Amino acid sequence: MSLFDKFKPLIDIRAELDRAGVMPFGAVTEKILSPTEAIVNGHKVILAGTNNYLGLTFEPECIEAAQKALAEQGTGTTGSRMANGTFAGHVALEQELAAFFARQHCIVFSTGYAATMGMGSTLAGPGDVIVLDADSHASIYDGVRLGGADVVRFKHNDVADLEKRLRRLGERTANTLIIVEGIYSMLGDQAPLADIAEVKNKYGGLLMVDEAHSLGMLGSHGRGVAEAARVEAAVDFTVGTFSKSLGAIGGYCVSDHPELEAIRFAIRSYIFTASPSPSIIASTRVALRLMQERPELRERLWANAQRLYDGLKGLGFQVSPQVSPVVAVTIKDRDQAIAWWSRLLHNGAYVNLVMPPASPTTDSLLRCSVSAAHSDAQIDRIISAFAQLNPSTAQEANN
C-alpha cells in the first residue's frame, strides 16, 4: 500500500491525455492580448472560459490604481490581518463593500476560497447543523468538513427537500446554518432564493449565500440573486469573490450581525494567511466603483449570454437549464468531451473542460463564461467554433 495508490485514477487519466497530446487542465496562457483574446497552448483564441464577467481586467483606471499602490506600498503586506497586514486600503474596501451591500459589517479575505471555506468552517461547529445544497462549491464542502458540524445535504435547488430536512431537525434549526449559492458555477442555474428564504423564515436558522458568480450581474444595484429576488433581509451572510466580476483576487463576507466583528478573530483562513497585496485592494476598490457607475456593463453581459445560449442551443447542443453568463454544454462521453475541447481550441475558442468529480453529475461539460467585453462578432466566432463540431454527434453522445 502506498500513499500514491489513491491517485491512480488521476494518474491514468493524465497518461491517457498525454498519449492523446491533449492537456486541457492547466492550459498555458502564453500571452494575454485583451480581456477577451489570448494565445493559449500556441493558439490565438477568443477567451470564453475566464469568468471575467464585466471585462474589467484591463480597465485603465484599475491598472492605474494598482500601479500607484504598488509604487507607494510595495508588492505585498508580508503579514496577516491580525499582525501587520491591515493597511488603510483593507479597511476602506471593507467599508465600501458594506455600503454597497447595505450591510453594517464586512470582512475582506485573501481569496474567495478562503472566504467561503472560512465562514463555513467557523459559523457552525460540533453540535450544530449545516444544511447545504448538494451542488455547493468545493470550498463550501471543505469548510463544513473542517468545522465539525453535522452536515445535511438537500437536492440541488429543491426547496421541498430543504423544507423536509429542516422540519426533521425540529428544535435543532436554532443552531442550523443553511448554505446555498446565487448562481451555480458549473451550469449557471440560479437558486430559487425567494422560496428558500420563505422556508428559512418558517423554520429558523441562519442563511449564507455565496454570490461569487452573481455579483455585478443581478439586482438593481448588481448585488446578486438575493437582491433580484428581493430577499436580502432574509440573508444573514453574503460571501463572494473579487476574482470574477471585479477582475482581481480576494473574497469577502458581509452581514448585519454585529457578531461578525468578533467572529473574524476565530476564522483560521483569515487569521493565518497574509492579507491581500495593496495593488489588489486598490484595483478592486476601483472595479467596485465602476461596477456601480456602469450598469450598461450588466446589460451588455446579459445580451451576450442570451446570444451565446441561443446560438449553441440552436446548433443542437444540450445547454444549461437557463440563460446566464455561464453557458455549459453537457456531454456524457468523456473522451468526446476531451476531443471536442481540443478541437475548439484549434477552432479559436478557449472554454473550460469540466469532468467528474468537478462537474455536478457523472457527465462532462464544455463550460463557457461570457464577458461584457465580448463583441457580437466574438460571440458569433465562439458559436462558429462549436458549429465546426458535429451537433448530431452531440445528440448521439448524450443518448
Residue from 336, 309, 317, 385 nearest 46 by CA: 385
Q: Which of 185, 275, 277, 283 is catalytic?
A: 185
Q: What is the pLDDT of residues 199-232, one digit of tens each?
A: 999 999 999 999 999 999 999 999 999 999 999 9
- Do residues 199 and 130 both lie within one domain? yes
Q: Are 203 and 133 in contact (CB under 8 A)?
A: no
Q: What is the pLDDT of residues 54-86, one digit of tens each?
A: 999 999 999 999 999 999 999 999 999 999 999
Per annotation, catalytic residue among 137, 213, 269, 359: 213
At 165, list the grid cell.
Answer: 430536512
Q: Maximum CA pair distance of the chain?
A: 59
The CATH number linked to 10 is: 3.90.1150.10
- Catalytic residue flag (residue 185): yes
268 and 299 fall within a common domain: no
* Domain-embedded: residue 389: yes
Q: Residue 203: which domain range? A: 77-276
Regarding beta strands 349-350 and 176-181, do their DSSP bridges make them parallel or antiparallel, or are they unpaired?
Answer: unpaired
Return d(Cα 265, Cα 66) in angstroms, integer: 28
Q: What is the pLDDT of residue 113?
A: 97
> How far apart, in whole angstroms, are the C-alpha atoms of residue 52 and residue 50?
5
- Residue 397 above 50 pLDDT? no
What percent of the chain is modeled with pLDDT above 90? 88
Asked whether residue 332 is domain-assigned, the answer is: yes
Domain assignment present for residue 70? The answer is no
- Supply the pLDDT for residue 392: 57
Closest to 178 (Cα-Cα) out of 113, 226, 227: 226
Mean pLDDT of the chain: 94
What pLDDT is stored for residue 87 in this prediction?
98
The whole-number pLDDT of residue 16 equals 79
- Output the pLDDT for position 357: 81
Rounded to an integer, what distance in angstroms lies between the CA atom of residue 308 and that of residue 383?
A: 7
Sign of CA dihedral 126, 128, 132, 137: negative
Grid coordinates belonging to 306: 442570451
SS in 3 state form for the chain? CCCCHHHHHHHHHHHHHHHHCCCCCCCCEEEEEECCEEEECCEEEEECCCCCCCCHHHCHHHHHHHHHHHHHHCCCCCCECCCCCCCHHHHHHHHHHHHHCCCCEEEEECCHHHHHHHHHHHHCCCCCEEEEECCCCHHHHHHHHHHCCEEEEECCCCHHHHHHHHHHHHHHHHHEEEEEECECCCCCCECCHHHHHHHHHHHCCEEEEECCCCCCCCCCCCCCHHHHHCCHHHCCEEEEECCCCCCCCCEEEEECCCCHHHHHHHCHHHHCCECCCHHHHHHHHHHHHHHHHCHHHHHHHHHHHHHHHHHHHHCCCCCCCCCCCEEEEEECCHHHHHHHHHHHHHCCEECEEECCCCCCCCCEEEEEECCCCCCHHHHHHHHHHHHCCCHHHHHHHCC
What burial class does residue 276 get, using C-beta atoms within 10 Å of its C-beta: 0-12 exposed, 13-18 middle, 19+ buried? Answer: buried
Q: Are residues 269 and 300 in the same domain?
A: no
Cell 473574497 found at = 251
- Residues 184, 125 share a domain: yes
Angle at alpha carbon of residue 49, lines to 48 and 54, rounded to 5°: 75
Please state the domain count of the chain: 2
- Looking at the fold, whether 49 and 112 belong to one and the same domain comes out as no
How, if at all, do strands 176-181 and 206-210 pair? parallel
What pLDDT digit, counting tens, does each position of 12-66 carry?
888 877 777 777 777 899 999 999 999 999 999 999 999 999 999 999 999 999 9
Residue 320 lies in a domain: yes
Catalytic residue among 137, 244, 342, 371: 244
* pLDDT of amino acid 31: 97
Whether residue 100 has pLDDT greater than 70: yes
State pLDDT tens for residues 225-272.
Answer: 999 999 999 999 999 999 999 999 999 999 999 999 999 999 999 999
Same domain, 160 and 246: yes
20-24, 198-202, 276-280, 354-358: lowest mean pLDDT where?
20-24
Quick check: is 285 in a domain? no
- CATH number for position 263: 3.40.640.10
Task: Verify that 311 and 257 share a domain, yes or no.
Answer: no
Is residue 217 one of the residues assigned to a domain? yes
In terms of domains, do 105 and 52 share one? no
Query: Domain ends where: 249, 276, 303?
Result: 276
Residue 274's DSSP bridge partners are 80
Radius of gyration (Cα) for the chain, nearest Å? Answer: 21
pLDDT tens digits for 290-316? Answer: 999 999 999 999 999 999 999 999 999
- Same domain flag for 47 and 91: no
- Report the predicted TM-score, pTM, of the whole model to 2 decimal places: 0.93
263 and 333, same structural domain?
no
244 is catalytic: yes
Is 286 inside a domain boundary? no
Residue 241 lies in a domain: yes
Residues 235 and 366 in one domain: no
Q: Quick one: 311 and 263 in the same domain? A: no
